[in-house]
Amino acid sequence: MSETALPKRVAVVTGGIGGLGTAICRQLAQAGCKVIAVDLAARDERVVAFHQELAAFNGAITFEAADVSNFDDCLQLTARIEQEHGSIDVLVNAAGITRDASLRKMSPQQWHELMRVNLDGVFNMCRNVVDGMTTRGFGRIVNISSVNGQTGQFGQTNYSAAKAGVHGFSMALARETARKGVTVNTVSPGYCDTPMVAAVADDIRAQIIADIPVGRLGAPADIARAVNFLAADDAGYITGINLPVNGGYFMSF
Ligand code: CAA
């Protein structure tokens, strides 16, 4: 390695074969990272398709099965990756689900299932990488929130609460790790061209798109570029921020 070359970073992306996760894996691999996509084991067909889509990366992106809602799964996963690759330098928490229903119709199961993935999952992964990152003096954590964590959305009390919680978590952890070379930031996507958004009823989705100033759904690559920016070695002075990428759907200062 020449004196100026950056070390090859090891990046873990949860929800790694999902709508946003696949694009994030691709972008980080293009930036020179060794990428481990983490997702549920059950989605076998999607794993095959994922490998086909990303075959051009020739082993720079590999797949590991784990359930982020299970602390012990995350403990074993991170230990396995650190043993094999030496470190986890970048963690992107992109695993997320929806369980949409207005509150008057929402079951405790819809609430708890969502919290376990969207919020506990962030704790379970961060808790298991943070010691290694602070000990080595380098880490980049990017947590995927949502515009709906900033604005609230009809039918999403669970999702909006979890996604707002994700940014609170990021800010607190950013303070805890700021002097140890570890940054923690949030990216809040707007409505993107993913299966999650495709599942919204056609008329509601059409109205949402009509309200996006840029006039279209976000592309997963739009989100991946923001993640890559925050995950870079030279982004060390940016921590605790929420970077909205939503086509102007929600603006604040
Ligand atoms: N705003 C205001 N009123 C609404 C409404 C809305 N968005 N949606 C429904 N209502 C009204 C209806 O007109 C109806 O009114 P009346 O009773 O006066 O007739 C009433 O509320 C119906 O209430 P229900 O509790 O029966 O709602 P529902 O079961 O018909 O629909 C829902 C609930 C399926 C959740 C639906 O509101 C919906 O799909 N909302 C959008 C959810 C959404 O945007 N999800 C995003 C998923 S993608 C994602 O989350 C990614 C990301 O990060 C951006």
Give me the percent of the chain exceeding a pLDDT of 70. Answer: 97
Q: Flag whether pLDDT at 56 surpasses 90.
A: no
Give phi and psi for 35, each to the nearest 5: -115, 135
pLDDT at residue 99 above 90? yes
Residue 165 buriedness (CB in 10 A; 0-12 / 13-18 / 19+) = middle
CB of 197 sitting under 6 A from ligand 1:
yes
Q: Token digits for 119?
A: 């919020």
Neighbours of 208 (CB within 10 A): 16
Q: Which member of 159, 191, 237, 249 is catalytic?
A: 159
Does residue 249 have an active-site annotation? Answer: no
pLDDT for 77: 98
Mean pLDDT for the stretch of residues 52-64: 86
Q: So what's the pLDDT on residue 4?
A: 47
Instruction: Evaluate whether 32 touches 86 at the Cβ level (below 8 Å).
Output: no
Domain count of the fold of the chain: 1
Radius of gyration of the chain (CA): 17
Relative to the CA of 201, which ligand 1 atom is closest? Answer: 39
Per-residue pLDDT tens digits for 131-160: 999 999 999 999 999 999 999 999 999 999
* Residue 54: pLDDT band with limits 50, 70, 90: confident
Enclosing domain of residue 89 = 10-245
Count CB atoms within 10 A of the CB of residue 146: 29
Q: What is the CATH number of the domain that holds 233?
A: 3.40.50.720
Question: Is the minimum distance from the CB of 204 to ligand 1 under 6 angstroms?
Answer: yes
- Angle at which helices 121-136 and 157-177 pack, to 10 degrees? 10
- The answer to whether the CB of 105 is under 6 A from ligand 1 is yes
Specify if 5 maps to a domain: no
According to the model, what pLDDT value does residue 3 have? Answer: 45
Asked whether residue 2 is assigned to any structural domain, the reply reads no
Residue 127 lies in a domain: yes
Pick the residue whose CA is nearest to atom 11 on ligand 1. Answer: 154
Instruction: Write the residue with the smallest CA distance to atom 20 of ligand 1.
Output: 102
Rounded to two decimals, the pTM is 0.95
Ligand 1 pocket, 200 CB below 6 A?
Answer: yes
In a domain, 251, yes or no: no
β-pair partners for 185: 142
Q: Could you tell me which residue, 200 or 57, shows the higher pLDDT?
A: 200
Asked if residue 62 belongs to a domain, the reply is: yes
For residue 170, pLDDT beyond 60: yes
pLDDT of residue 134: 98
Residue range 111-120, pLDDT digits in tens: 999 999 999 9
253 within domain boundaries: no
Looking at residue 6, its pLDDT comes to 54
- DSSP at 119: I
142 within a domain of the structure (yes/no): yes
Give domain status of residue 150, yes or no.
yes
Confidence of residue 88 (pLDDT cuts 50, 70, 90): very high
